[in-house]
A and B are shown apart, each in its own frame.
Chain A
């Protein structure tokens, strides 16, 4: 406990980095996954291709990806992009399926009605299909957010520090307090972000709770 109080400055800094490294990929991943998910909901071929590629991407071990990627991208060894890019890839891999399923589940007669009363395709997507897909997309985002928050720690191995730094510092010298604090901090952050996404989802979809 005294260790925590003595290192509040360090913890705050690590929290900032950890949030940045996990949420930036979440946002980037969402932006990329929406058009891909839309494509996958439109044709069976696109769906089969995109979903198998994204499952494949998700099976690449995070450690391997984080270690190999700087070589491929030519980024410097402690560039935050070395973490942001792999996590964006994982986020896309998780969200493409959610978004494709969410868009396919929008009732066909609602989409037909929108077309029949004069919506053009883009406006129909933004005004009807996407809003109706929000509940399922938010569920996917919550999984991706928690997954990112846990994966950021791996970045510590290549010197990009979130809470992972607490493990790489504490573990080799057998200082377990630091490791435990790292685990707890990761857990608390995951819960807070998850709750925030849940809340945002509820604010965006008042219609899902309208009872008779």
Chain B
């Protein structure tokens, strides 16, 4: 879909931002360009829609050499999401989203109704359409930026560090949202970030750039973690990469053990009787885990098991979609050392232990499922 052929960018002052880049972006997938500052990732992205022109080499979009396109027309056919959204402060949210359709010659009514549709697609309430960007939160502005980029339904979407300016919680929400959108839209997305965790979470494939504009490795995230091409990639991918690699191993077949549970509001003496090895998980009326009780904790209270007596729980492991990483984390973060397993609806299923996760890892290795 997008093809870099021996692309080099040398700026007027002689610095080489991108050095002989050869890379082919898979259609309908998310490809992430990641690397330290000055590695040429943003320059590479901006060459695709000719915001920057390559010094030499060829870039093909959909088989066509982009040098043969008129830049404004080329850009209208490629969605672009910029850092900090870059919304037009003097236009309402709806008019911001309608910008590209209007530039492309749609009539005003059609452009507006398309814009309203897009607000819904990116999960914004329609009454926000009448507001100005300054009246929105950072996360909402970023969604409007995505909606604006999608307005004429371009097959290619370029995203230039779009989530770097929002706080970590909002960023995670926006990342999940992007993955959900991509499930429905199947765009060819090139995403630039300096955050390796973001790259690994979002990318179907990740291109790691090193300073001086050289491509260090271009691979699936699981390969990147398991088999970094050299020391630079290994150190850039960071510590804990063995642990993070578990995130790509399915936890199918991981045994789920029984777990003592009591319902919130049970009398304390009944709860004491239900403990197993001194622990029980407490669930609400929908069977969702809300915390733990221990023999220690119950020995000092009377009456009913209320929220006040609970020890807070660790992370939850979803048996339908979880990885070995989430299973291991649930065990390591649990006060009882037993990971709490839930089903897709969040209801309690049972327990997992760290030992079982490691055994599952060993058998996955034997079966050749772990990249070596």
Q: Which A residues lie at the B interface, using CB under 8 A?
A: 107, 109-110, 112-120, 123, 128, 131-132, 205, 207, 210-212
Q: Is B131 a contact partner of A109 (Cβ separation < 8 A)?
A: no
Given A109-B86, A128-B88, A131-B90 in contact, is the A117-B73 Cβ separation under 8 Å? no
Q: Is A205 a contact partner of B72 (Cβ separation < 8 A)?
A: no
Q: Which of B63-91 contact A (CB under 8 A)?
A: 72-76, 80, 82-91
Q: Is B100 a contact partner of A109 (Cβ separation < 8 A)?
A: no
Q: Is A110 a contact partner of B87 (Cβ separation < 8 A)?
A: yes
State A116–B73 Cα separation when bound (angstroms).
10
State A106–B82 Cα separation when bound (angstroms).
16
Query: What residues on A are CB-neighbors of B75 within 8 Å?
Result: 115-118
Query: What residues on A are CB-neighbors of B76 within 8 Å?
Result: 117-118
State A113–B75 Cα separation when bound (angstroms).
11
Given A207-B132, A210-B132, A210-B134 in contact, is the A116-B103 Cβ separation under 8 Å? no
Q: Interface majority SS on A: helix, strand, loop or mixed?
A: helix
State A205–B132 Cα separation when bound (angstroms).
11
Pairs A–B under 8 Å by Cβ, sample size 28: A107-B86, A109-B86, A110-B88, A110-B89, A112-B86, A113-B80, A113-B85, A113-B86, A115-B51, A115-B75, A116-B49, A116-B51, A116-B75, A116-B82, A117-B75, A117-B148, A118-B73, A118-B74, A119-B72, A119-B103, A128-B88, A128-B90, A207-B90, A210-B131, A210-B132, A210-B135, A212-B134, A212-B135
Query: What residues on B are CB-neighbors of A115 within 8 Å?
Result: 51, 75
Query: What residues on A are CB-neighbors of B73 within 8 Å?
Result: 118
Nearest residue, chain A, Cβ from B103: A118
Query: What residues on A are CB-neighbors of B135 within 8 Å?
Result: 210-212
Q: Is A207 a contact partner of B80 (Cβ separation < 8 A)?
A: no
Encode B261-302 as 1/0 by CB contact (under 8 A) with A.
000000000000000000000000000000000000000000
Q: Is A113 a contact partner of B132 (Cβ separation < 8 A)?
A: no
State A5–B63 Cα separation when bound (angstroms).
82
State A145–B132 Cα separation when bound (angstroms).
31
Q: Does B222 contact A (CB under 8 A)?
A: no
Q: Does B99 contact A (CB under 8 A)?
A: yes
Nearest residue, chain B, Cβ from A204: B90
Query: What residues on A are CB-neighbors of B87 within 8 Å?
Result: 110, 113
Q: Does B149 contact A (CB under 8 A)?
A: yes
Q: Is B149 a contact partner of A117 (Cβ separation < 8 A)?
A: yes
State A123–B99 Cα separation when bound (angstroms).
12
Nearest residue, chain A, Cβ from B151: A117
A110 CB contact (under 8 Å) in B86, B103, B132: B86
Query: What residues on A are CB-neighbors of B148 within 8 Å?
Result: 117
Given A210-B132, A211-B135 in contact, is the A117-B51 Cβ separation under 8 Å? no
Q: Is A113 a contact partner of B82 (Cβ separation < 8 A)?
A: yes
Q: Which B residues lie at the A interface, using CB under 8 A?
A: 49, 51, 72-76, 80, 82-91, 99-100, 103-104, 131-132, 134-135, 148-149, 158
User: Closest Cβ of chain A: how far from B37's Cβ, in Å?
Assistant: 17
Q: Is A112 a contact partner of B82 (Cβ separation < 8 A)?
A: yes
Q: Is B99 a contact partner of A117 (Cβ separation < 8 A)?
A: yes
- With a 10 A CB-CB cut-off, give which of A107, A117, A119, A212 has the most chain B CB atoms: A117
Q: Is A132 a contact partner of B89 (Cβ separation < 8 A)?
A: yes
Nearest residue, chain B, Cβ from A110: B86
- With a 10 A CB-CB cut-off, give which of B83, B88, B131, B149 has the most chain A CB atoms: B88
A120 CB contact (under 8 Å) in B72, B84, B85: B72
Query: What residues on B are CB-neighbors of A132 within 8 Å?
Result: 88-90
User: Closest Cβ of chain A: how far from B60's Cβ, in Å?
Assistant: 20
User: Closest Cβ of chain A: how far from B346's Cβ, in Å?
Assistant: 34
Name 6 extra pairs, CB < 8 A, besides A117-B76, A210-B134: A109-B82, A118-B104, A119-B72, A123-B103, A132-B90, A207-B90
Q: Is A114 a contact partner of B88 (Cβ separation < 8 A)?
A: yes
B100 CB contact (under 8 Å) in A112, A117, A131, A212: A117
User: Closest Cβ of chain B: how far from A97's Cβ, in Å?
Assistant: 22
CB-CB nearest 5 A-B residue pairs: A113-B86, A118-B76, A118-B75, A116-B80, A210-B132
Q: Is B134 a contact partner of A117 (Cβ separation < 8 A)?
A: no
State A25–B157 Cα separation when bound (angstroms).
49
Query: What residues on B are CB-neighbors of A116 within 8 Å?
Result: 49, 51, 75, 80, 82, 158
State A49–B91 Cα separation when bound (angstroms).
34
- With a 10 A CB-CB cut-off, give which of A116, A119, A207, A210 has the most chain B CB atoms: A116
Nearest residue, chain A, Cβ from B86: A113
State A212–B137 Cα separation when bound (angstroms).
9
Query: What residues on A are CB-neighbors of B91 within 8 Å?
Result: 207
- With a 10 A CB-CB cut-off, give which of A112, A114, A207 has the most chain B CB atoms: A207
Query: What residues on A are CB-neighbors of B72 within 8 Å?
Result: 118-120
Nearest residue, chain A, Cβ from B46: A116
User: Closest Cβ of chain B: how far from A138's Cβ, in Å?
Assistant: 14
User: Closest Cβ of chain A: how far from B301's Cβ, in Å?
Assistant: 45
State A128–B95 Cα separation when bound (angstroms).
12
User: Closest Cβ of chain B: how far from A113's Cβ, in Å?
Assistant: 3
- With a 10 A CB-CB cut-off, give which of B90, B148, B149 has the most chain A CB atoms: B90
